[in-house]
A = this chain, B = another copy of it.
Amino acid sequence: MGTTKTDIHSIDTIEVAQVAKVLAHPARVAILKYISEQEGCICNDITEEVGLSQATVSQHLQVIRDAGLIQGNVKGKSVCYCLSKSNFDQFSVVMDQFFKGLLK
């Protein structure tokens, strides 16, 4: 136990849950907001902005990256993160359709 049962549910259902899971932590929401505000990217500053240790921020960044919401471009010693808008847009659609589906 402790493991989420996934084989029970439809693809659609799982997709909504996966999208939501990425946004289910305030640090990840804050990181996404910050990255998008900086238009381009920036990186180490996230640690300062968010108020968590570098290791923790890096972990959250990995979750967001694995979900395909951001891209990291290496620039010398620093890494520039920026939104992958198309994927983010898809996330938006998934959630939107879920809400609309239930509210119709």
Contacts and interface: CB of A to CB of B under 8 A. Distances in A.
Interface in A52-104: 52, 83, 85, 88-89, 91-92, 95-96, 98-103
Nearest to A99: B92
A26 interface: yes
**Range for the number of chain A residues in contact with chain B:** 35 or more
A73 to B, nearest CB: 19
A74 B82 CA distance: 50
Nearest to A23: B20
A13 to B, nearest CB: 5
A42 interface: no
A43 interface: no
Interface in A1-22: 4-6, 8-10, 13-14, 16-17, 20-22
The 10 lowest CB-CB distance pairs between A and B, nearest first, are A20-B23, A92-B99, A21-B24, A24-B24, A9-B26, A20-B24, A17-B26, A36-B102, A8-B51, A20-B20
